[in-house]
Amino acid sequence: MKQHIYADNAATTQLDKSVFEAMTPFILEEYGNASQLYSFARKPKKAIADSRAAIAECIGAFPEEIFFTSGGTEGDNWIIKSLAFSDTERRTMITSAFEHHAVLHSCDAIDRLGYPVIYMYPTEEGYITPENLKKNITDKSRLVSVMYANNEIGSIQPIQELCEVAHSYGVLFHTDAVQAVGHVKINVHELGIDFLSASAHKFNGPKGIGFIYARKGVQLCPYTDGGAQENGKRAGTENVASIVGMATALKSNYDDLEKNKKHILNLERRFIAQLNESKIIYKRNGGENTLPGIISLSFPGADGETIMHRMDLMGISISTGSACDSVNTEISHVLQAVKLDKTFAKGTVRISLGKNNTDDEIDKIAYSLIKILSQNKY
């Protein structure tokens, strides 16, 4: 079988074996409903509590500030809609034009219902500045939602400064940290933010599970009504195995954070060095402060989708832009928001590396990409 090289870790990541092993007992043996009062429910109930505490510790929160969700999309929907509908005076939302569609489409939904949304445009490098927010925020604003790091170009936003601006106007602050949690150090209490959303499959955990952080004392309306799970905020029998898997994955990624970061940055440098040596003309998107491993490259005059398919034929998975946007073959809203010239934007691919990638894989990725581009086969 042809060796497959996976370089689309911003779309999803490989489940850690240790995570799978931690999950298995809660699928096969300890399958009791954690809400029941008999002894068979004790282990799943304890596993949920331990997982909540472990996740809280990883991001500097209190356990009661963590609420489980089905992933990043649900977390973003929950926070944005819950906040919009809970105040009739302060009705305006502020977000950025290059958020993930989970945020943008949640904002569309509230806008249609009479809760206006203001969209801030990033700089050409891919950053939302505090000055930009100051120009847009008013005493009618309800929530500012700016992503921690962009999923296509990797730029890390000045979250603490943006949050300080929001708070100086008495406005709450949310960050979609789906790409960042598990990959960079985050302390929610130090940042001062009110809400954060995260997703386990982006940090080597299972798919279909995530969490939100909601600062103690801030109002959070229930997402689903029904049973008393998640402190009455998200009714429904808990997905114990996935919750355990998520906590195991997060802890493991944070235990190895510096090691993983160093490894991924070395891979990144190795790749860029080979690309530079080839003399192929390209632009790297995302500016100076990007997530380790997210490499968004634009090749003028090329076609990103054709490059992606040709890489696929060579056994390498990369992306043209955001994975959640694969149906849309237009220039992505992110590249439009950073005003990337069309000839560059059309020739954009995203290579996103993870802790399991190797030097050998990087050399093959670089060799294949350079071969495609130097033969003008796109």
Query: Which one, 30 or 176, has the nearer CB to ligand PLP?
Result: 176
Instruction: Tell me which residues in 68-127 interact with ligand PLP (CB under 6 A).
Output: 71-73, 76, 100, 102
Q: Catalogue the E-assigned strands of 98-140.
A: 117-120
Task: With beta carbons less than 8 A apart as the criterion, state whether 51 and 247 touch.
Answer: yes
| Interacting residue with ligand PLP among 106, 151, 248, 290 (CB under 6 A) | 151
Residues in contact with ligand PLP, counted by CB under 6 A, come to a total of 15
How far, in Å, CA of 59 to CA of 41, rounded? 28
206 contacts ligand PLP (rule: CB under 6 A): no
DSSP states of 245-292 as a string?
Answer: HHHHHHHHHHHTHHHHHHHHHHHHHHHHHHHHHHT---EEES-SSB-T
Footprint on residues 180-199 left by ligand PLP (CB under 6 A): 199
178 binds ligand PLP (CB under 6 A): yes
Of 162 and 366, nearer to ligand PLP (C-beta) is 162
* Amino acid code (one letter) for 8: D
CA distance 115 to 305: 37
Q: Near ligand PLP by CB under 6 A, which window of 65-73, 126-134, 247-255, 332-340?
A: 65-73
Instruction: Please compute, for residue 227, the number of CA atoms within 13 A of its CA located in the half-sphere on the CB side.
Output: 10
Helices vs strands, H then E, count in the chain: 13, 12
Q: Which is nearer to ligand PLP, 72 or 182 (CB)?
A: 72
Q: What is the CA radius of gyration of the chain?
A: 21
Residue with tokens 């931690």: 22
Identify which of residues 71 and 126 has a Cβ nearer to ligand PLP in the complex.
71
Stretch that binds ligand PLP, among 24-32, 40-48, 172-180, 241-249 (CB under 6 A): 172-180
Question: Exactly one of 22, 128, 147, 246 binds ligand PLP (CB under 6 A); which one?
Answer: 147
Between 334 and 362, CB nearer to ligand PLP: 334
Contact 174, 79 (CB under 8 A): yes
Min dist. Cβ of residue 75 to ligand PLP (A): 8
Q: Label the pairing between strands 195-199 and 210-214.
A: antiparallel
Residue 304 burial (C-beta neighbours within 10 Å; 0-12, 13-18, 19+): buried
Of 176, 230, 268, 361, the one binding ligand PLP by CB under 6 A: 176
Residue 140: CB minimum distance to ligand PLP, A: 26
Q: Of 143 and 147, which CB lies nearer to ligand PLP in the complex structure?
A: 147
Distance in angstroms between the alpha carbons of the first and the last residue of the chain: 26
Q: Is the backbone of residue 376 left (phi > 0), alpha (psi -120 to 50) or beta? A: left
Residue 39: which residues within 8 A CB-CB, separation 6 or more?
none
Answer for the pair 94, 145: CB distance below 8 angstroms, yes or no: yes
- Residue, CB closest to ligand PLP: 72
- Find the shortest distance in angstroms from Cβ 328 to ligand PLP: 14
Residues known to be catalytic: 324
Q: How far is the CB of 58 from ligand PLP (least distance, A)?
A: 17
Site string for ligand PLP, 301-340 (x = CB under 6 A): ----------------------xx----------------
**Footprint of ligand PLP on 236-265 (CB under 6 A):** none
Of 253 and 368, nearer to ligand PLP (C-beta) is 253
Residues that bind ligand PLP (CB under 6 A): 71-73, 76, 100, 102, 147, 151, 176, 178-179, 199, 210, 323-324
